[in-house]
Amino acid sequence: MALLNGMSPLLSLLIIGSLHLASTERPMKKTLVFPVATDTSYVELMPQKDLSIASFTLCMQLATELAKGKREIILFAYRTEQFDELNVWRESDGTYQMFMQSSKNGVSFNLPELNTIQTHLCLTWESQTGMAAFYVNGKRSLRKLYKMGHRVLPGGRVILGQDPDSLLGNFDINQSFVGEITDVNMWDYVLSTAMIRDLNDGKWVPRGNIFDWETINMKLNGNVTLFSEDL
Ligand SMILES: *[C@@H]1O[C@H](CO)[C@@H](O)[C@H](O)[C@H]1NC(C)=O
Ligand SMILES: *[C@@H]1O[C@H](CO)[C@@H](O)[C@H](O)[C@H]1NC(C)=O
Ligand SMILES: [Ca+2]
């Protein structure tokens, strides 16, 4: 490295550091592809902290060709031994529902239908007021009240692709997710409407402190492909 002769050691280090970054740290966009309906394929997401939370924002980008009227689809499942702590569904009638702690009654929203083009979907909830809202491509739904004073309990597992009726088990092929999922991020607080709009626009927002898609640790099981492309 004759180029570096005469430079201060610190400057040399900085140059080597940035060369290294340029060659190996190209930003890649990763997408999970669930090509077929199964009762075996799923992806477990490893949270950065316990899901012991009194509020959250959950965001993901989804594409599916399972049109409404066909069947229900699980979009997100967090389950402990005892309970479905936090499940998000696209129901067969096309509504979206969140359920907490295996309750029979979820909170239901009418949103634009998912389709073959990616939809940016977020869900926020806050125990103190019970306020829940969805965001579709950065635009907020009306707010509804659900489970005021409740707390999501730790000790479970988070999966995409299947609805577990026991811890990581008892999957139903007719509830499985088929399509693409990317950009799964979760925070243990409610992001503002402006931040969710910025996130949808690709602007900077604080990284998810429960799930951060850029650094997320996942375990793929069955027929799921992790597709990576250059940004
Ligand atoms: C899934 O749905 C199909 C079509 O409605 C049905 O034939 C099949 O029995 C269902 N499978 C299960 C496991 O419920
Ligand atoms: C996954 O599903 C696709 C589409 O049906 C199929 O072609 C492929 O062989 C399957 N791969 C595995 C590993 O089962
Ligand atoms: Ca089920």
CA–CA gap between residue 140 and residue 155 (Å, rounded): 31
pLDDT values of the chain reduced to their tens digit, one per residue, 231 residues: 444 444 454 444 444 444 444 445 667 899 999 999 999 999 999 999 999 999 999 999 999 999 888 999 999 999 999 999 999 999 999 999 999 997 889 999 999 999 999 999 999 999 999 999 999 999 999 999 999 999 999 999 999 999 999 999 999 999 999 999 999 999 999 999 999 999 999 999 999 999 999 999 999 999 999 999 987
Amino acid at residue number 94: G
Bridge partner list, 101: none
Name the one residue in this structure whose structure tokens are 């739904």. 141
- Ligand with an atom nearest the CA of residue 166: 3
Nearest CA among 103, 89, 104 for reference residue 134: 89
CA–CA gap between residue 135 and residue 223 (Å, rounded): 29
CA 109 to chain centre: 18
223 Cβ inside 6 Å of ligand 2 = yes
The domains found in the chain, sorted by start residue, are: 28-230 (2.60.120.200)
170 Cβ inside 6 Å of ligand 1 = no
pTM equals 0.88
CA–CA gap between residue 132 and residue 143 (Å, rounded): 6
- Ligand with an atom nearest the CA of residue 176: 3
37 Cβ inside 6 Å of ligand 1 = no
Report CA(178)–ligand 1 centroid distance (Å): 15
